Chains A and B, each alone.
Chain A
Amino acid sequence: MITFKSDKMEKRSARRTREIVIPGDVLGNADEYKAGENAYELDGKIRANVIGTKTYTNDAVGVTVMGGFYMPVTGDTVIGIINDVGPSNWMLDINAPYPAPLHVSEVPWKVEFGDTSRFLTVGDVVLLKILMVDESKKIQVTMKDSGLRKIEGGQLVEISYSKISRVIGKSGSMIQMLKNMTDCRIFVGQNGRIWIDGDGENVDVAAEAIRIIERESRSANLTDRVREFIEKRLPQSEEDEEEDSE
Chain B
Amino acid sequence: MVLVNEDGIRIDGRRIDEKRPIKIEAGVLKNADGSCYLEIGKNKVLCAVYGPRECKPRHLQDPTKAVVQVKYNMEAYSVTDRKRPGTDRRSVEISKLIAEALENVVQTELYPRASIDVYIEILQANAGTRCAGLTAASVALADAGIPMRDLVPAIACGKADGNVLLDLNKEEDNYGQADVPLAIVPSTDEIVLLQMDGNMTRAELDHGLDMAFAAAHEVYEVQRDALKRRYTEMSKKEGDSDE
A residues sitting closer than 8 Å to B (CB atoms) are 3, 5, 16-18, 20, 22-25, 38, 40, 42, 47, 49-53, 65-69, 97-99, 135-137, 215-220, 222
Residues in A neighbouring B111, C-beta threshold 8 A? 97, 137
Beta-carbon contact of A22 and B151 below 8 Å:
yes
Beta-carbon contact of A50 and B148 below 8 Å:
yes
CA distance A217 to B223 in the complex (A): 27
Starting from the known contacts A24-B148, A24-B185, A47-B187, 16 additional A-B residue pairs (CB-CB under 8 Å) come to: A20-B227, A20-B228, A22-B223, A23-B150, A24-B186, A38-B147, A42-B188, A51-B231, A69-B145, A97-B52, A135-B112, A136-B63, A137-B114, A217-B238, A217-B239, A222-B239
- B-side interface mostly: loop
Beta-carbon contact of A51 and B143 below 8 Å:
yes
Residues in A neighbouring B105, C-beta threshold 8 A? 23
B142 proximal to A (CB < 8 A): yes
* Given contacts A22-B227, A97-B52, A50 and B234 within 8 Å (CB-CB): no
CA distance A42 to B242 in the complex (A): 30
B146 proximal to A (CB < 8 A): yes
B19 proximal to A (CB < 8 A): no
How would residues 97 to 136 of chain B score, 1 for a CB under 8 Å from any chain A CB and 0 otherwise?
0000000010100011110000000000000000000000
Instruction: Report the interface size for chain B: residues with CB under 8 A from the other chain.
Output: 42
Beta-carbon contact of A97 and B241 below 8 Å:
no
Beta-carbon contact of B107 and A49 below 8 Å:
yes
Beta-carbon contact of B54 and A97 below 8 Å:
yes
B residues sitting closer than 8 Å to A (CB atoms) are 33, 51-54, 63-64, 105, 107, 111-114, 142-151, 185-188, 223-224, 227-228, 231-232, 234-235, 237-243
Beta-carbon contact of A50 and B146 below 8 Å:
yes
Residues in A neighbouring B53, C-beta threshold 8 A? 97
Pick from B51, B112, B144, B240: contact of A136, CB under 8 Å = B112
Pick from A42, A66, A69: contact of B52, CB under 8 Å = A69
Name the distance in Å between B31's Cβ and chain A's nearest Cβ: 13
* Given contacts A24-B149, A66-B231, A97-B111, A216 and B143 within 8 Å (CB-CB): no
* Given contacts A3-B242, A20-B228, A23-B142, A98 and B114 within 8 Å (CB-CB): yes
Question: 9 A-B Cβ contacts within 8 A?
Answer: A18-B243, A23-B105, A24-B149, A24-B151, A25-B224, A42-B149, A97-B54, A97-B111, A219-B241
Pick from A16, A20, A22, A215 the residue with the most CB of B within 10 Å: A22
4 nearest A-B pairs in the assembled complex, by CB-CB distance: A219-B239, A68-B145, A24-B150, A97-B52
* Given contacts A22-B228, A137-B111, A97 and B51 within 8 Å (CB-CB): yes
Pick from A3, A25, A97, A218: contact of B235, CB under 8 Å = A218
* Given contacts A20-B228, A22-B142, A98-B113, A49 and B187 within 8 Å (CB-CB): no
Pick from A42, A53, A68, A137: contact of B113, CB under 8 Å = A137
Name the distance in Å between B37's Cβ and chain A's nearest Cβ: 17
Pick from A3, A42, A51, A69: contact of B142, CB under 8 Å = A51
CA distance A40 to B105 in the complex (A): 12
Beta-carbon contact of B145 and A136 below 8 Å:
no
Beta-carbon contact of B239 and A51 below 8 Å:
no
CA distance A53 to B234 in the complex (A): 12
Name the distance in Å between A96's Cβ and chain B's nearest Cβ: 9
Beta-carbon contact of A220 and B114 below 8 Å:
no
Residues in B neighbouring A99, C-beta threshold 8 A? 54
Residues in B neighbouring A24, C-beta threshold 8 A? 148-151, 185-187
Name the distance in Å between A22's Cβ and chain B's nearest Cβ: 5
Beta-carbon contact of B151 and A23 below 8 Å:
yes
CA distance A5 to B240 in the complex (A): 12
CA distance A216 to B239 in the complex (A): 6
CA distance A163 to B107 in the complex (A): 24
Residues in A neighbouring B151, C-beta threshold 8 A? 22-24
CA distance A67 to B234 in the complex (A): 10
Name the distance in Å between B98's Cβ and chain A's nearest Cβ: 17
* Given contacts A23-B142, A42-B187, A50-B148, A216 and B52 within 8 Å (CB-CB): no
